[in-house]
Structure 1
Amino acid sequence: MLKIFLAILVILLPAVLLMGHRIFFTKKGKFPPIHVDTNPALRKRGIRCVQTQDREARKPNPHKIEMVKKD
């Protein structure tokens, strides 16, 4: 059991350190923005938040023509 734990630790510890190198070892280390609205690369491609798009789609249309029912 101890051998398995140590083997897992030997594999995972370097992996975590290598993946977090920029965050752990640089002065301005912080996680990159992952939300769609705050990510500049996604904004540049025109990819937007689904909730924002849905909210805009649900706004009442000022140019909508109402149908009139006659009795």
Structure 2
Amino acid sequence: MITVVLITSFLLAIGFAGFAITILVKKNGKFPELHIGNNKDLKKRGIGCATSQDKMEQAKAKKSLQFKQLTLLEKELKSL
């Protein structure tokens, strides 16, 4: 039982050391950006974050709804 715990701890230590070395060796000490919205290659292909696209579409729908309401209000004012 203790040997399994020691082997597991050793393997985890090697993994963490590997991550640390990767951070030190890589340019700017950062991992590549994995978020879709910040990935340059995906932006070139026109692929975006679903959450961001949803927010933009909701804003467009809200804006068009407000525009329609303003138009109806102007028509009512003109009829008076």
- TM bucket normalised to smaller: 0.5 to 0.7
How far off is 1:23 after superposition?
A: 0.7
Q: Residue 22 of structure 2 corresponds to which residue in structure 1? A: 22
Larger radius of gyration: 2
Higher helix share: 2
Q: Which residue of 2 aligns with 1:7?
A: 7
CA distance in 1, matches of 2:35, 2:27: 23
Identity of aligned residues (%): 33
Q: CA RMSD in A?
A: 2.7
How far does the alpha carbon of each residue in 1:1-48 deviate from its partner, in whole angstroms, 9 at most, with x for none?
432221002222223333453213456211322222212122223220
Q: Which runs of 5+ in 1 are unaligned?
A: 65-71
TM-score normalised to structure 2 length? 0.54
CA 42–19 in structure 1, closer or farther in 2 if over 3 Å, else same: farther
Q: TM-score, normalised by structure 1?
A: 0.58
Counting matched residue pairs gives: 63
